[in-house]
Homo-oligomer: A and B are copies of this chain.
Amino acid sequence: MNIGQAAEASGVSAKMIRYYESIELVPRADRRESGYREYGVTDLHRLGFIRHARDLGFSLERIKVLLGLWSDPGRSNADVKAIARAHIRELEGRARQLNEMADALRSLADACDGDGRPDCPIIASLETGANVPACHAGDAPAAPEPPVPRRKLRARH
């Protein structure tokens, strides 16, 4: 089947199928004389796998590893599980960050009357940074700070 049919059947756009081929996430598809790509059930199966992994938020980089494990009959499910757990942590971290932002903004919005006057705690907090979760603060508990930055950051003006 052609790339269009493969796209529809797998749920991966033709554009992306070509892209996946170009970055060698999938092997180069068979070609007809005309140069048209030709797909079979095996290819569809692989594209479906990729799509499901994308639906779970895996990066293409990690999907490449998963595909390798998939096609490895001697794989260890511990390896798969480790990748999955690392990914879960990432997802949770990102979700937590988004929720923190949403929570902070919600409390600001709740404090805003929205009655048409210019007074606005949201704007005020953006000005001062009060109640705004510092992005990535807490990721690096203590700045490594290279021992003796001798003449760095000279005071000027």
Give A contacts to B, CB under 8 Å. 1-2, 4-5, 8, 45, 48-49, 51-57, 66, 69-70, 72-78, 80-82, 84-85, 87-88, 91-92, 94-95, 98-99, 101-102, 104-106, 108-109, 112-120, 122-123, 125-129, 132-135, 153, 156-157
Shortest distance in angstroms between A139's beta carbon and chain B's nearest beta carbon?
13
What is the bound-complex CA distance between A134 and B55, given in angstroms?
6
- Interfacial chain B residues near A99, Cβ < 8 Å: 91-92, 95
B105 engages A91 (CB within 8 Å): yes
Assuming A92-B102, A105-B91, is B5 touching A156 (CB within 8 A)?
yes
What is the bound-complex CA distance between A66 and B135, given in angstroms?
19
